[in-house]
Structure 1
Amino acid sequence: MPPRIDMSVPHPARMHDYWLGGGHNFAADRELAERIMEILPGIEDMARLNQSFLRRAALFLVDAGIRQFLDIGSGIPTVGHLHDIVQRAAPESRVVYVDSDPVAVAHTELILEDVKGTAVLRANMRDVPGVLAAEPTQRLIDLAQPVGLIAPMLHFIPDSWDPACIMGAYRDRLPSGSYLVVVHVTQDAETPGLAKTLELYRTTPFQLYPRGHDEVLRICAGFDLVEPGLVGTALWRPEGPDDRSTKPGINSLLYAGVGRKP
């Protein structure tokens, strides 16, 4: 357990870890996670499908020649997270995790303590120049070469922050051939229990901001989406039946896409 962590306050990243069967969670996280599982059956499938998509997308980037990754809003590295995936496929891969939340950063520092080619940066993702100029980024990322930009948590960003503008600032500073991987909770799905789940998330340090298809596409502006475009996580190049949920609505509860900067 990282020092100075309040175990009585549930944290979305640790709840996600619990749904995946991980060990980086506490009693408060498990209690709220179980409540949400009752309200929104299949939420654990959503976590699994999300992680499965990120694995497929990361390996797609490795196959495309990407060897350096910037994960903004990374949360807590958990079961099958980015550095595990890309370094297994290409051991020379480097990963910089960025998060403004001290809880996520504290957990990540412990997890990455002995993992070469990785670093965690506590910074606000809105500070694009600061993130790119920070020591861990400069040490592990060559901004003259294509970068894999991973953005899995944009649904925690309020409209007032203008997520499309933030992503545009990263896009403009990354070289041609860089990729964006995006995941975002949708407001288009009529999933029973979603509204109540959003209310429960307000009891945590973070609030969810679902967005529609066109809004998420604007976040991806300037990147050419590869087939099949912006779709539900289960629909992005599934490899088998385990990449889908049997519960209605879960397969498209998260939008997912991969785009390349021309």
Structure 2
Amino acid sequence: MNNHVSHIVVVDDEEDIRDVLADALQQLGHKVTKAGNSIELFAAEKPDLAVIDLRLNNEDGLTLAKSLREQSDIPIMMLTGKGDETDIIIGLEVAADDYMLKPFNLREFTARVNALLRRSNSNAAQPAPIASHETLYQFADWTLNLSQRTVVRADGSQPTLTHGEFSLLEALVTSPQRVLSREQLMEKTHGYGSDSQDRTIDVLVVRLRRKIEENPRIPRLIKTERGIGYRFNTSVTKHTKPAS
């Protein structure tokens, strides 16, 4: 039985919002540290997940998230107000794994946080493979190794993917040439569905394109199916090799 209590840092410069979010998370058994700025965030001891408001007093939440990502691979959820989405989230510079637009439903907020934690904890808890073989997927000049959670180019280069980016790539690679809706991709990557206003998958797609496409502006691997979702537009070969 896993008795680990997840430690979540909530970063918002509005005390009322910090208190409400912290209370909702604590009711589910999480340990919560409330932070009003970057100093308090980085002073928090070994968090498992960070919730960061995009608009902080005298600070940019986007810059804060990028600084945190440089130091840690923990899941990051961004909170944004209406009007920020296009300029910042779809600006593709944030290293977040998920985001929510204010105002939001607390039940959905806690569900998304728990989904991020489950995926993160599951990946971290996986023991070294015991099986004698590993499953690999090869596409274009890339090799995806699900056991090691790596994607390596033929020249040996290996981009660093966030949890969300890797989960999206896994979902696409294992369903080549199939059109997957945003709802299907949210279910595969985050463990829950989404509504028509949710742009989480769009954000992840463009960030992933930046890392695996020759020209992200004219993608050849991840094609947009307008009004529906996305399609992995290349052949994929699945094979095994002796486990390393």
User: Do the two structures share a fold, i.e. TM-score over 0.5?
Assistant: no
Scaled by the length of structure 2, the TM-score of the pair is 0.28
Scaled by the length of structure 1, the TM-score of the pair is 0.27
- The answer to which structure has the higher strand fraction is 2
Q: With CA pairs under 8 Å and 6+ residues apart, which has the higher RCO, 1 or 2?
A: 1
- The answer to which structure has the higher helix fraction is 1
